[in-house]
Amino acid sequence: MEIRFHNPYRHSVLGLLAELTVFVGFMAVMAVVALVFSWLV
């Protein structure tokens, strides 16, 4: 996959931000899932 950067770091910054956002969101969802199931018992 050829990628030409106008600003070589722009993609990296966006990539990092995307990752961090997804990670934190994912952590929150997992916490909710665990909580919901703990209430079922």
Task: Enumerate binding residues for other proteins (CB under 8 A).
Answer: 1, 3, 11-12, 14-16, 18-20, 22-24, 26-27, 29-31, 33-41
What's the closest the beta carbon of residue 29 comes to other proteins, in angstroms? Answer: 8
What's the closest the beta carbon of residue 36 comes to other proteins, in angstroms? Answer: 7
CA 37 – CA 41 distance, rounded (Å): 7
What's the closest the beta carbon of residue 9 comes to other proteins, in angstroms? Answer: 9
CA 32 – CA 41 distance, rounded (Å): 15
The tokens describing 31, both together, are 């916490």
